[in-house]
Structure 1
Amino acid sequence: MKLKIDTTGVSFVCTRGPEQRVAFDTGQPRIDRETGRPLWQVQLMALDVSGAEVIAVTVAGDPGVTVAQPVQVDGLIASPWNQEGRSGVAYRADAIRASGAPLSGVVAPPKTVPPSGTSAGPGKTAA
């Protein structure tokens, strides 16, 4: 069963960049049966007045969005599944597209750690 989700009043932000879906057994890209386009998965934060949830949404074609970018999600559906004693919900969208510039200051640059065997700072020698 596929359940249409009303996204009125919901804001979405990309929390992990798009990743191409691949078949587990062959490693080949998974293809959408209807469009023939490769499938991509995007991790999104869905935020409304009740709070936020992080969901992984599959879409046909690379949506071209980046981390911390607000996005518009069109035609979102939820498909409950149950397999070998495990269960969950798979999310699928007709389209995911950027709806603004990435939020500034949300993603901090990685901290640099001095390589092993080098000086740990001014006046300090490596152990």
Structure 2
Amino acid sequence: MRQIPVDTSAASVMVAQPPQPKIKDRRTGEVATDTETGATLMTVNVMFAANDTVELLPVTVPETGISGDLAMGTPVALTGLIARPWERDGRHGVAFRAVAVTSLTAGATKPKAA
């Protein structure tokens, strides 16, 4: 699967919606997990502002990669952000995944070790 690194150095990123468990199957409520580590996957909706454009992006991140208080409006850093184009059943889009989402407010802690 193609993975495109996303440069966030010139962007302003803040939490639009706090982390929620990523649901794998809506019918059963099964929560998604990382296939390699088994970590629970979370979705953090962020406002990504760069080049006079603002977008809301759902970013998938392992629960162990979430650090600090990620309340709405909190400025954050996205470590290892990648974009993955996808297509299924005639639908298509881009999924975003990060290794970590870290609060940039005072008192933020580093991501937990995996």
- Residue in 1 aligned with 2:22? 21
Once the 2 structures are TM-superposed, how far is the Cα of residue 6 of structure 1 from its aligned partner?
1.1
Trace 1:39-54 onto structure 2 (pairs within 5 A).
Answer: 39-54=41-56
Distance 1:7 1:68 in 2: 17
- Alignment of 1:58 with 2:60, yes or no, is yes
SS at match of 2:43: strand
* Aligned length in residues: 101
Structure 2, unaligned runs of 5 or more? 107-114
Counterpart residue identity of residue 81, structure 2: L
Identity among equivalent positions (%) equals: 34
- State the TM-score, normalizing by the size of structure 1: 0.74
Provide runs of 4+ in structure 1 moved above 4 Å: none
- State the TM-score, normalizing by the size of structure 2: 0.81
CA contact (8 A) 1:19 1:41 kept: yes
CA contact (8 A) 1:22 1:29 kept: yes
Once the 2 structures are TM-superposed, how far is the Cα of residue 49 of structure 1 from its aligned partner?
3.2
Greater relative contact order (Cα < 8 A, sep 6+): 2
CA contact (8 A) 1:35 1:60 kept: no
Counterpart residue identity of residue 84, structure 2: S
Bigger radius of gyration = 1
Structure showing the higher strand proportion among its residues = 2
